[in-house]
């Protein structure tokens, strides 16, 4: 048996990457009968059939995104533009919260540093505990450091339209030539992603090309879990259980905040998102 990763699925035929080579495979009867549908990113065992391959087994998934389905994403690079469009703490924090709740390891990447250094914005995320990378796809700076952390992993990109996600993919591996667009003028082109696929990287690993993180929705997150989605607040022990971390005496989050160890921007985001969630689940 050979092991591989499903990188694409079209009409019941799966493209599977096996040691850097791509083979076609179909789902075998038993897998179909058991009602498990292989998805992009699945690690699978293949059996040789007459002159093709069959997916004989799907290995346990460590996570699975729905609509479109992608399994086993190792990490997400959240791309933010230093300018054009101007970065927003609120918007960034909402996206980070959604991804944290789903338990994805996150890397922050500040792009367009040729226009503005983005360091003040990035510093807030470094302080929160995120790895922060500064790049410019226009000047091709900082790209090698990103490649290093992508080696051997399945990486997805998230971030607002126009921040340079497609440009970044092109800078990392020019073979893909994803369509890039001017801010606010992105058209549905030939290469616009509607289905998910994995793009194999020359240096090992894959880019998960998926629109799965383009809608930022946190309505499924209980307000009590919100602070766990902020690494700098996570697991702090407050005096009262069920502390909202907004005004209680003996609140460990507020203490850390007043000691200057949680930045104002992040705490403000916490309050805004907490209020949003509290209003949502009032009835």
Nearer to Zn ion by Cβ, of 189 and 250: the residue is 250
d(CA 188, CA 191) in angstroms, rounded, equals 8
Residues numbered 108 to 127 that lie near ligand GDP (CB under 6 A) are 111-112, 114-115
Residue 173 touches ligand GDP, criterion: CB under 6 A: no
C-alpha–C-alpha distance, residues 216 and 99, integer Å = 9
Q: Return the number of the residue (166 or 269) whose C-beta is nearest ligand GDP.
A: 166
User: Residue 23 or residue 186: which is nearer to Mg ion going by CB?
Assistant: 186
Which spans of this chain sit near Zn ion (rule: CB under 5 A)? 238, 243, 245, 251, 253
Quote the least distance from Cβ 163 to Mg ion, whole Å.
9
The set of residues, in sequence order, having a beta carbon less than 8 Å from that of 185 and lying 6+ positions away, is none
- The option from ligand GDP, Zn ion, Mg ion, none interacting with 75 (CB < 5 to 8 A, set by class) reads none
41 near ligand GDP, judged by CB under 6 A: no
Distance CA 235, CA 253 (A): 10
What span, in angstroms and rounded, lies between the C-alpha atoms of 99 and 76?
8
Q: How many CB atoms lie within 10 A of CB 177?
A: 11
Q: Which does 94 bind (CB under 5 to 8 A by kind): Zn ion, ligand GDP, Mg ion, none?
A: none
For Zn ion, the closer CB: 114 or 248? 248
- Compute the least distance from the CB of residue 248 to Zn ion, in Å: 6
Q: Which is nearer to ligand GDP, 52 or 192 (CB)?
A: 192
List contacts with Mg ion (CB under 5 A).
165-166
User: Mask of contacts with ligand GDP, 67-96, x by CB under 6 A?
Assistant: ------------------------------
What is the binding site for ligand GDP (CB under 6 A)? 111-112, 114-115, 136-138, 161-167, 180-183, 186
């Amino acid at each position: 048996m050979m092991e591989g990763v499903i990188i694409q699925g079209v009409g019941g035929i799966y493209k599977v990457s096996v040691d850097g080579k791509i083979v076609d495979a179909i789902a075998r009867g038993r897998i179909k009968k058991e009602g498990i549908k292989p998805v992009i990113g699945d690690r699978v065992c293949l059996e040789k059939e007459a002159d093709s391959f069959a997916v004989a087994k799907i290995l346990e998934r460590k996570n699975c995104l729905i609509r479109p389905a992608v399994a086993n994403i190792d990490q997400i690079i959240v791309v933010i533009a230093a300018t054009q469009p101007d970065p927003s703490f609120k918007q960034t924090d909402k996206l980070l919260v959604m991804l944290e709740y789903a338990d994805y390891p996150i890397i922050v990447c500040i792009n367009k540093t040729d226009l503005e250094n983005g360091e003040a914005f990035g510093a807030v995320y470094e302080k929160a505990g995120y790895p922060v990378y500064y790049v410019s796809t226009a000047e091709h700076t900082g790209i090698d450091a990103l490649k290093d952390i992508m080696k051997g992993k399945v990486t997805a990109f998230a971030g607002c339209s126009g921040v340079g996600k497609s440009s970044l993919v092109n800078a990392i591996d020019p073979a893909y030539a994803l369509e890039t667009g001017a801010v606010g003028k992105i058209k549905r082109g030939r290469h616009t992603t509607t289905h998910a696929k994995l793009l194999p990287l020359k240096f090992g690993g894959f880019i998960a090309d998926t629109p799965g993180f383009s809608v930022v929705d946190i309505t499924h997150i209980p307000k009590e879990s919100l602070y766990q989605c902020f690494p700098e607040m996570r697991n702090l022990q407050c005096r009262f259980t069920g502390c909202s971390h907004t005004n209680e005496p003996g609140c460990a989050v507020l203490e850390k905040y007043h000691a200057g160890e949680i930045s104002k921007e992040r705490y403000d985001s916490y309050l805004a998102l907490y209020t949003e969630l509290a209003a949502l689940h009032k009835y």
